[in-house]
């Protein structure tokens, strides 16, 4: 064949290859593969890496009955949105100590009964005899909520620089030192300035009032206090309520539309206590509650054990505190690592003041 014939043959073959099948191309034009049809609403497409579960990437052996590493994507989205809107639990993995305590806290509302404490007098045996006569001792009128204590049949009048209050009830049995507990309104009636003190701690307490009984008078140079709001807790209830002796808690109480939160409620836990929140008459009236109503513990801060160093809180401790529904604050009876403080702020349980 001549060169011209060879050239025509090559041209004919190339033409046939380029026009194979009547107008189609011999080699298809490269195209990017299209993903499968539209994914289910709320679910990532199967070809997306984020939609793959851990076993898809690295299969693991899991004992029977153990939950998946994480829930399906739609359930995770729904749970996260409900938690953000405060309508559901956090979708964090269960199984940790924090998760277990969080679940227990959500199942159990930390409710306590309220006892409204009116003005009353704890009196020493010596002062009782001065008021009611030699050899006399308080007579039981009725038991009260705290074990071994009772409202006595006897009462006294209290006279201050500006006013007088009749029929102040004596609470027995007799104590080592006489102590008069009044409300702020009572202190104004008497014309004195009484400090807020825990019952039994009379350092710096007020005086300047006289007690009048049928047999005589007793002048008090000290011993008058406004009782600090406190929560008596029986040992059996301490774990359920998540509190220890010396803690301070915040409680929420009152009717709908007038709910009030009371802070700095001191916890007194021990065998001589029955679980009950004690408020004076002024506090009870302000919150519109009465004896027998219910309050809910909404936050707590740990008290430092006497004579011991403040505990160091880590991120794990913060997670457990958040699971109980408690808070942390600057100046609390603990030391907080920087990472734990950042964790507390992220969880919304850090307060900048006590």
Question: What predicted TM-score, i.e. pTM, was given to this entire model?
Answer: 0.58
pLDDT in tens, the chain (354 residues): 788 888 888 888 877 776 655 555 555 556 555 555 555 555 556 555 555 555 555 555 555 555 555 555 566 666 666 666 555 555 555 444 444 444 444 445 689 999 999 999 999 999 999 999 998 989 999 999 999 899 999 999 999 999 999 999 999 998 889 999 999 999 999 999 999 998 888 889 999 999 999 999 999 999 999 999 999 999 999 888 988 888 889 999 999 888 999 999 999 998 889 999 999 999 999 999 999 999 999 887 766 554 555 677 888 888 877 776 677 776 666 778 888 888 888 887 887 654
User: Which pLDDT score, from 0 to 100, does residue 104 have?
Assistant: 47
Nearest 5°: phi and psi at 54? -60, -45
Q: Which two tokens stand for residue 118?
A: 């009116």
Cα 168 to Cα 156: distance, rounded to the nearest angstrom: 5
**DSSP helix/strand/coil, 76:** helix
Nearest 5°: phi and psi at 37? -55, 175
- CB under 8 Å to 263, separation ≥6 — which residues? 248, 250
User: Which pLDDT score, from 0 to 100, does residue 73 have?
Assistant: 58
For residue 342, give the H/E element and its range: helix 338-347
- Percent helix, strand, coil in the chain, to 5, is 30, 25, 45
User: Which pLDDT score, from 0 to 100, does residue 156 have?
Assistant: 96
DSSP assignment letter at 49: G
For residue 226, give the H/E element and its range: strand 224-227
Cα 169 to Cα 154: distance, rounded to the nearest angstrom: 7
User: Which pLDDT score, from 0 to 100, does residue 292 have?
Assistant: 94
**DSSP helix/strand/coil, 143:** strand
User: Which pLDDT score, from 0 to 100, does residue 48 have?
Assistant: 59
């Amino acid at each position: 064949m001549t060169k011209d014939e060879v050239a025509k043959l090559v041209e004919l073959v190339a033409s046939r290859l380029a026009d194979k099948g009547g107008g189609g191309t011999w080699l298809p034009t490269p195209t990017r593969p299209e993903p499968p049809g539209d994914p289910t609403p709320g679910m990532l497409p199967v070809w997306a890496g984020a939609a793959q579960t851990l076993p898809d990437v690295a299969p693991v052996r899991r004992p029977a009955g153990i939950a998946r590493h994480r829930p399906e994507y739609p359930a995770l989205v729904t749970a996260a949105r409900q938690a953000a809107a405060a309508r559901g639990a956090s979708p964090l993995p269960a199984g940790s100590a924090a998760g277990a305590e969080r679940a227990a806290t959500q199942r159990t509302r930390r409710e306590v009964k309220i006892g409204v404490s009116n003005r009353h007098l704890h009196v020493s045996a010596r002062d009782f005899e001065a008021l009611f006569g030699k050899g006399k001792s308080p007579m039981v009128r009725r038991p009260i909520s705290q074990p071994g204590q009772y409202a006595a049949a006897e009462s006294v009048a209290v006279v201050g620089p500006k006013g007088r209050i009749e029929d102040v009830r004596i609470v027995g049995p007799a104590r080592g030192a006489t102590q008069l507990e009044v409300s702020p309104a009572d202190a104004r009636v008497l014309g004195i300035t009484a400090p807020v003190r825990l019952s039994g701690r009379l350092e710096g307490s007020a005086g300047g009032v006289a007690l009048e009984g049928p047999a005589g008078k007793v002048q008090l140079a000290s011993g008058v206090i406004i009782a600090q709001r406190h929560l008596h807790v029986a040992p059996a209830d301490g774990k359920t309520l998540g509190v220890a002796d010396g803690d301070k808690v915040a409680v929420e109480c009152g009717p709908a539309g007038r709910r009030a939160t009371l802070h700095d409620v001191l916890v007194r836990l021990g065998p001589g206590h029955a679980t009950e929140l004690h408020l004076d008459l002024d506090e009870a009236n302000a919150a519109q509650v009465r004896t027998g109503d219910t309050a809910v513990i909404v936050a707590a801060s740990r008290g430092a054990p006497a004579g011991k160093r403040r505990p160091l809180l880590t991120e794990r401790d913060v997670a457990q505190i958040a699971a109980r529904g408690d808070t942390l604050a600057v100046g609390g009876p603990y030391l907080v690592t920087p990472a734990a403080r950042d964790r507390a702020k992220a969880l919304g349980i850090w307060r900048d003041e006590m």
